[in-house]
Amino acid sequence: MHTPIIAILFTIIPVFLLAQQDIEGLKIGDKAPQFVAVDNHAMPIYLNRLLKQGPVVLMFYHGSWSNSSLTQLRNLQDSLRMIYDMGGEVIAITTESMENIIKMSNKMQTKFPIISDKNRMISMKYKIGKDMESSKLEEYKKKGYDIKKMTSDGTAFVSMPATYIIGQDGIIKAAFVSKDYEITPSIHYIIAKLMEEGLKPHKREFENDGG
């Protein structure tokens, strides 16, 4: 009588533990999981198609409530022309709601695609998703941020800070994964790793940038 319930529990537990504990992230040399998603400009983003244009800087961040996340986004935007001219591409991913992403993006005037990982699948595939600790939730709440109201699914599930550089062969060439919510790689690190890829420059038009 209880066997079906036990069987279901044993099916659910491994997935639950993955979400809770496995935040090691993928490593250099791993094959980057492919994904298709819609960005903050309502445009479809295919990782495999972007890789045909050049290596991809794939940035995960947990939310716009994080100063370090905003700093990294700003640094990527400030260096975007250089990255594009070097032949690279940029994608940012967060479990924050699309509504919040659009507000932040409009304010910061970011030009690269930002994806709301509302079904958690991309964060899970890259092994950097987890439920934020209750102590951290309270810490942010005291600062005026109710994380569960800001995520796409109304939970405390977030992406830990992680930045990958994926080569055109689909292999991860550089990986920066942090267990600390406020530690992100410098833009100098990202640019240096891109240069190691021997990129082929190609020009990209920027809208309303005055250039």
Q: Look at residue 24 in the predicted model and tell me its pLDDT.
A: 82
pLDDT in tens, 55-85: 999 999 999 999 999 999 999 999 999 999 8
Residue for token pair 């961040």: 61
At 26 the three-state DSSP class reads coil
Q: Within the chain, where are the H helices?
A: 3-21, 47-53, 67-78, 80-86, 98-108, 121-125, 134-142, 147-150, 187-195
59: exposed, middle or buried (C-beta count within 10 Å: 0-12, 13-18, 19+)? buried
Which whole-number Å values give the CA distances from 129 to 62, 120, 178, in the listed order? 9, 8, 11
Options 3.40.718.10, 3.40.47.10, 3.40.30.10, 2.40.180.10; CATH of 13-195: 3.40.30.10
Three-state SS for 67-115 is HHHHHHHHHHHHCHHHHHHHCCEEEEEECECHHHHHHHHHHHCCCCCEE
Q: Look at residue 14 in the predicted model and tell me its pLDDT.
A: 35
At 14 the three-state DSSP class reads helix
DSSP class of residue 34 equals P
Is 164:12 a contact under the CB 8 Å cutoff?
no
Q: Look at residue 193 in the predicted model and tell me its pLDDT.
A: 87
Is 17:8 a contact under the CB 8 Å cutoff?
no
Separate counts of helices (H) and strands (E) for the chain: 9, 9
Flag residues of the chain having pLDDT under 50.
1-21, 209-211
Residue for token pair 């924050």: 96
Domain ranges for the chain, please list them: 13-195
Q: Look at residue 57 in the predicted model and tell me its pLDDT.
A: 97
